[in-house]
Chains A and B, each alone.
Chain A
Amino acid sequence: MTGISDHEDAEALRQRELLARLAAARADAAASPGLRAYRANAHASAERALGTACPTLRVLLGAEDFAQLAREFWHADPPLRGDLGEWGDALPEWIAAHAGLAEWPYLADCARLDLALHHCERAADAVFDAASLALLSSTDPARLQLRLMPGVQALRSRWPLASLHAAHAGRDESLFDVARDRLQQGQGEAVVVARDGWRGVVHRIAAPDLAFMQALACGADLARALDAAGDGFDFAAWLADALRCRWLKEVALVGD
């Protein structure tokens, strides 16, 4: 090893030690004012980034508890990239395993929905190819794929996910009663996340629609996706919803 490399190793060690002190869950009692300032910066970044990505979770928890959660999560799963818009995907699993949050078992799925909306709003912009619909009447379904818009995602929860989201995203107090009733009844819900203009929105869907869309998302051809959806699935109704809500990007030949 050359002398220069030895010196660079020393810098690498210096940087590793500083970053380790910042990433440590417990603050260093002997930390200098500067180190405390950097920790405070990190915590502010965590609160801001997760607050942007998970607004419903923030309302559910309240600002103070959410800030505490964001700080804890920063140390539990620190960012790997320099764009904090990309940080937070491990949050739902982390919440699900958090003993202090066990009393609210639906929080993890609420975080999952928030993150799906966040990613949907950052997804590539795309235009629906209306002409491609003609393939539906001319081609064997086994040779077709229905491709969803970037960011469109179908989710299922054992909790009333859409109702919880609607209650905490708006100002209609009656929606809280709806969400509370469905929680008490243990009523799960399936949803699709899609973009309406620039904003991510939540659409509640039925179980066969969920199975169909999850099959599409996995790359299944139309015939297989219809099989996955089962007998209760109404393709014509789904297609009408998909066109109205901008779920569908195009119909394409398999392999194209």
Chain B
Amino acid sequence: MQAGTPDMALTGIGLRQPHYREVLEGRPALGFVEVHSENFFADGGAALAVLDTARELYPVSLHGVGLALGSAAGLDPWHLDRLALLAQRVQPVRVSDHASFARAPAAAGGTVLHANDLLPIAFTTASLDIMVRNVTQVQERLRRSILVENLAAYLAFDDGGQMGEADFLVALCRRSGCRLLLDVNNLMVNALNAHAADPLAACCDFIDAVPPGIVGEIHLAGYCEHSDFGIVIDDHGSRVRGLVWAAYSHALRRFGPLPTLIEWDTGLPALAVLLGEAHSAARLQAEA
């Protein structure tokens, strides 16, 4: 391998519409590409055709943002049907979604709405039961294990009786057979919003609470400090920050090299910038 061209076998990027042509024609070295499942739920059309082409060039990972696995109202059968169809078509290397909820009626007995956002769940035993049930339903339908991602949460529930987030996710993995999609940027966003004295140490503590073997993929992204709200937002709109790289290195030392995705969803840069971030991740994998 030449100096400066790391082995990219485990590293991927989020494939987004402005980069479709450049990626599919240029075919940069990547271990996989990841797409948001819901963007390909249509019966047909251009996006699905692009995905079919991408599938011929790269392993594809389906990353959902709408299953709403933590919803007490349960899963939307329509959503699960569409995901099953897509998975059958794409034969993805991995299927994942988030430890969040989105489905609930706005009033008791009312129509179940979908917030189309990754809303936080409380880390209670009841939430765990709900998530295990929903994750199991997905896995039985897809006939495969899925990955569940830890969340960047902008609300916390402080009513007591909750377990730690890492313990919650580890228990979810053990009870349902799913694996953890560790989003290191989300760990950092939560640590910063919690005003942790040492945000990097807080991230490393979380990572150390996760047993090796449970993590199936890592996500890296950029965050921003939102002046209007006075909090840090996981906006996937910039380069991976130095503290997040440091936490990633810690995760690699603990878990060994893992499939790693660079997510960039807002204010997309030139593809070369995104690939540069992916190369940085691959170099850290080689050093681990």
A82 touches B76 (CB 8 A): yes
**With known contacts A83-B38, A122-B43, A123-B43, A16–B117 Cβ distance under 8 A:** no
Near B by CB (< 8 A), chain A positions 25-47 give: 32-38, 40-42, 45
**Chain B residues, Cβ within 8 Å of A41:** 117
A16 touches B104 (CB 8 A): yes
**Chain B residues, Cβ within 8 Å of A38:** 115, 117, 119, 154-155
Distance of A20 Cα from B113 Cα, bound (Å): 10
Nearest chain B CB to A128 CB, angstrom units: 14
Cβ of B88 within 8 Å of any chain A Cβ, yes or no, is: no
Cβ of B166 within 8 Å of any chain A Cβ, yes or no, is: no
Near A by CB (< 8 A), chain B positions 111-127 give: 111-117, 119, 121-122, 124-127
Distance of A82 Cα from B119 Cα, bound (Å): 13
Cβ of A84 within 8 Å of any chain B Cβ, yes or no, is: yes
| Chain B, interface residues (CB within 8 Å), range | 35 or more
Distance of A18 Cα from B117 Cα, bound (Å): 12
B116 touches A34 (CB 8 A): no
Residue interface mask B142-173, A partner, CB < 8 A = 1: 00000000000111110000000000000000
**With known contacts A37-B233, A122-B42, A123-B43, A15–B113 Cβ distance under 8 A:** no
Once A and B bind, how many residue pairs between them come within 8 Å at the CB atom? 148
Choice from A10, A83, A122, A125 contacting B79 with Cβ under 8 Å: A83
Tell me the count of chain A residues lying within 8 A, CB to CB, of chain B.
42
Distance of A10 Cα from B108 Cα, bound (Å): 12
**Chain B residues, Cβ within 8 Å of A122:** 42-45
Cβ of A99 within 8 Å of any chain B Cβ, yes or no, is: no
Distance of A80 Cα from B104 Cα, bound (Å): 10
A19 touches B130 (CB 8 A): no
A-to-B contact residues, CB < 8 Å: 4, 7-8, 10-12, 14-16, 18-20, 22-23, 32-38, 40-42, 45, 78-86, 121-126, 150, 198
Ranked nearest first, the 3 interchain pairs of A and B with the lowest CB-CB distance are: A82-B66, A34-B154, A7-B126
B-to-A contact residues, CB < 8 Å: 38-39, 41-46, 48-49, 65-68, 71-73, 76, 78-79, 82, 101-108, 111-117, 119, 121-122, 124-127, 129-130, 153-157, 226, 228-231, 233
